[in-house]
Amino acid sequence: MKITGDQALVKKINKSLILHTIRKHAPLSRARVSEITGLNKATVSNLVAELCSEELVNEVGPGESSGGRKPLILHFNDRAGCVIGIELRVRQLTAVLCDLGGHVLKECEVDLENHHLPYVLEQMKRIIAELIGSAPDSHYGIVGIGVGVPGMVDEQGVVLFAPNLGWEMVDLRGLLEQEFSVPVTIDNEANAGAQGELNFGAAQDVRHLLYISAGSGIGSGIIIGGELYKGARGYAGETGHMTIEAEGKPCSCGSRGCWELYASERTYDNPGLNLPARTTPELVRYALDQQEDTLRHFRTIGEYLGIGVTNLINSFNPELIVIGGALSEAEAWLGEPLRRVVAERTLPYHKQQLEITFSKLGSRGTVIGAGFTAVMHFLGRTRVTL
Amino acid sequence: MKITGDQALVKKINKSLILHTIRKHAPLSRARVSEITGLNKATVSNLVAELCSEELVNEVGPGESSGGRKPLILHFNDRAGCVIGIELRVRQLTAVLCDLGGHVLKECEVDLENHHLPYVLEQMKRIIAELIGSAPDSHYGIVGIGVGVPGMVDEQGVVLFAPNLGWEMVDLRGLLEQEFSVPVTIDNEANAGAQGELNFGAAQDVRHLLYISAGSGIGSGIIIGGELYKGARGYAGETGHMTIEAEGKPCSCGSRGCWELYASERTYDNPGLNLPARTTPELVRYALDQQEDTLRHFRTIGEYLGIGVTNLINSFNPELIVIGGALSEAEAWLGEPLRRVVAERTLPYHKQQLEITFSKLGSRGTVIGAGFTAVMHFLGRTRVTL
DNA sequence: AAACTTTGTTTAACCAATATACAAAGTTCA
DNA sequence: TGAACTTTGTATATTGGTTAAACAAAGTTT
């Protein structure tokens, strides 16, 4: 049964529109909301009253007059509730407590000793419980938990396959919802990162974004029309296994010449390179000391990143590309070769209008994005397409 | 100013829903429409009455009773108007006159002697005028012209770049609208093909479709959520220039190792191959005669197609992939190697749920799709996303 | 202090969907 | 055969949302 139109829907659309207008443009008056949205002043007044009584919006007193009656200033009430954002990584678990505005209230980290599901789940539950315990009192309390995991996730929040954890078909959402009785959203780590940059980082208000998470592998978060695109079964964006050398090195995925064999931290293990270290933070320090092998290798990685990025540009024609993940810390050395290769290899029209930047949120992008996914899930959004 | 909700919008949503329900499920009764859409019977009655008086829907008399009063059968009125679909190719111009149901009423073809804009435009105008002249009388007359061109097109219908025609920045929509005073839609040839398969061919009711047009080059039409995805500037889907060999053959686009150098008709010119012909239809005949070099080459093309298709699967995770374009005529020889390579190279979860088929509409897919784009533009569609 | 501006609310009107009742036209089964 | 049931489609009154217009409140300008 499809979605039909009735008055309830109209109200939902307009209320959602007003809520998100206030969230993005606060502080502002009812009159300004009416101007921005095109809704009648009376409609705005009514719906704002409801939003206020739902504690999602606050009236914080009069503002400056612009030649008439003083406006009553509205704010989105960041403190109406809290969410928990979690990033599950290979060696660590990062978790944050955020308010509805995405402000981090508390942060913690645990090292993981192994990847057995019961153990990892135990750690997650412990850290979540701890954060929930330290959450400030609020009208809605904890409204959701968002998790970013290094693997493929379907629409139901089942981790289909996470090679770095050795997980297959883990119903992570079910397990966490059962424990905490709040809505849980599970997302691929790159998708969470994309959400973070889209809402708080380098990609605010971008319609078509490609977020590339380059770390121990490569994954992409694809935002189309302001909306996360997950594909038919939820595992779009597995770009690390894009072939860039038809007869290249064999990959653990069963294919050959995969992009991430040439442009991720997986290259560090290559013995021929003579690298003085095996982790990005260490190599960054060597690069700062002008260590030759490191500089050369970063240049190579940058160039290979450029090849894959070019492929994605040709397919998606995004407005903006954001490079995130552990490798983004090497921006200083990757940026030039990456942009050079993209400029060399893309079609002329792409060059003019495409921007490539590195993550603004750095290593916290994913965990903030995961949390924010839960916020958006709580607030909802109803829109019309013509 | 954003889209707001009011009663007019509600009506638009429901009317659009009913119209498209009838279009897809006809013949059917009002009661059935009410069931399918979830709308109240009275609402359906009212809106169907309007659609009838607008001639978009016809009541064609009573149907079979299922134990009660006989239903009054409704049809979408294919004959309420006509559209013209045009496919502009390198050597030819194909045009069809279609009714609103996508049925071809008349078809013609012109050979092109050169690609100078004035000459091509002259031919297009002549052929369009001829088809308009032969259109049957109908309530709305000619409601639009849809064109598929081998190049990149922006949202305004400007052909940004069409290397095979030597065109740059041609405002084709403007030129045609000025001449004929009906809405004109211009689309990339692969996008038009995707629309054709989506509505009439191998991909009916698929939500996420990837249509790959393999001919003199390779282009892709990307359907996301049932909607054509054009990217930030309208040139998403330029997948032919995806790198599959980082240091491969240089391409005329300025890059190297582009997919279409290995998996399109561009391979035919490679002197080392010893091919007995240089066009797909001829080679198909040789393949039918078991000509060895031809069979081997088709196998190679199929394998390389598989590599690129794998890349796109990893990025987009579509529900269905349809291979169209001139090379689809060689399905018998391309299918096995293509599917084999995809099976070898994709991640395990992709294999289970992905289908790869070849175009059902064959060479007419593009021109029908182009026409149908004009139909959809005329009918409009208003929907809600939660 | 009078005139004008700006903000936000109140009022009445409008209109689309809906539930409900109902009419029309069929089938089923004793 | 005819009474009971089914199905289809329409008519009616109600509901509940947006809106235009008037208005009230609170400021600025001259």
Q: Convert the pLDDT of each residue in B25-52 to its tens digit.
A: 989 999 999 999 999 999 999 999 999 9
A347/A220 same-domain check: yes
- Strand pairing partners for A153? A159
pLDDT, tens digit, for every residue of B78-93? 999 999 999 999 899 9
B60/B88 same-domain check: no
> Which among B2, B7, B311 has CB closest to A243?
B311
> Which among B10, B229, B310 has CB closest to A5?
B10
Residue of A305, A314, A382 for testing the chain B interface, max B β-carbons within 10 Å: A314
Pairwise CB contact (< 8 Å): A307 & B243:
yes
B71/B108 same-domain check: no
Can you say whether residue A317 is alpha, beta or left, with left for phi > 0 and alpha for psi between -120 and 50 degrees? left
Residue B296 lies in a domain: yes
Protein residues contacting strand C, judged by Cβ under 7 Å = A 4-7, 29-32, 41-42, 45-46, 48-49, 65-72; B 7-8, 10-11, 14-15, 39-43, 46-47, 62, 65, 67-70
CATH number reported for the structural domain that contains residue A12 in this entry: 1.10.10.10
What CA–CA distances, in Å, run from A135 to A57, A83, A112, A217, B71? 20, 9, 24, 34, 61
What's the pLDDT score for residue B1?
53
As a rounded value in angstroms, the CA-to-C1' distance for A39 and C8 is: 14
Distance (Å, rounded) from C-alpha B299 to C-alpha A217?
32
Give me the number of domains chain B comprises: 3
Q: Mean pLDDT of all residues in chain A?
A: 94
As a rounded value in angstroms, the CA-to-C1' distance for A43 and D16 is: 13
Residue A352, pLDDT above cutoff 80: no
Q: DSSP class of residue B70?
A: P
Domain that holds residue B52: 7-76
Residue B46 lies in a domain: yes
Distance from CA of B220 to the nearest CA of A (A): 8
What's the pLDDT score for residue A277?
95
Q: DSSP class of residue B286?
A: H
DSSP notation for A155-199: TTS-EEEETTTTEEEE-HHHHHHHHH-S-EEEEEHHHHHHHHHHH
pLDDT, tens digit, for every residue of B156-193? 999 998 988 999 999 999 999 999 999 999 999 999 99
What's the pLDDT score for residue B144?
98
Residue with tokens 């690069």: A287
CATH number reported for the structural domain that contains residue B105 in this entry: 3.30.420.40
CA-nearest residue to B2 within chain A is A37
Return the biggest CA–CA distance within chain A.
74
A97/A233 same-domain check: no
Distance from CA of A186 to the nearest CA of B (A): 18
A215/A187 same-domain check: no
What's the pLDDT score for residue B341?
96
A128/A271 same-domain check: no
Distance from CA of B16 to the nearest CA of A (A): 10
Residue B167 lies in a domain: yes
> Which among B2, B255, B385 has CB closest to A345?
B255
Q: Which of A59, A76, A93 is the last residue of a domain?
A: A76
Q: CB–CB of B286/B276 below 8 Å? A: yes
Distance (Å, rounded) from C-alpha B299 to C-alpha A361?
47
Pairwise CB contact (< 8 Å): A224 & B220:
no
Q: Which of A76, A96, A118 is the last residue of a domain?
A: A76
Residue of B1, B4, B249 for testing the chain A interface, max A β-carbons within 10 Å: B4
What's the pLDDT score for residue B213?
97
pLDDT, tens digit, for every residue of B321-334? 999 999 999 999 99
Distance (Å, rounded) from C-alpha B266 to C-alpha B260?
7
> Which among A37, A241, A347 has CB closest to B253?
A347
B228/B324 same-domain check: yes
What CA–CA distances, in Å, run from A296 to A125, A164, A260, A337? 43, 28, 18, 11
B29-37 contacts at long range (C-beta below 8 A, 24 or more positions apart): B29/B63, B29/B71, B29/B72, B29/B73, B29/B74, B30/B71, B30/B72, B30/B74, B31/B71, B32/B71, B33/B74, B36/A1, B36/A2, B37/A1, B37/A2, B37/A4
A28/A99 same-domain check: no
Q: Which of A33, A49, A76 is the last residue of a domain?
A: A76
Pairwise CB contact (< 8 Å): B384 & A381:
no
A179/A165 same-domain check: yes
Residue A386 lies in a domain: no
What's the pLDDT score for residue A1?
54
Strand A142-149, strand A82-88: pairing = parallel
DSSP notation for B40-55: -HHHHHHHHHHHHHTT
A353/A297 same-domain check: yes
A373/A354 same-domain check: no
B207/B348 same-domain check: yes
Under 8 Å CB pairs connecting chains A and B tally to 225
Q: What is the mean pLDDT of residues A150-163?
A: 92
Residue B385 lies in a domain: no
The tally of CA atoms less than 13 A away on the side-chain side of residue A299 is 8
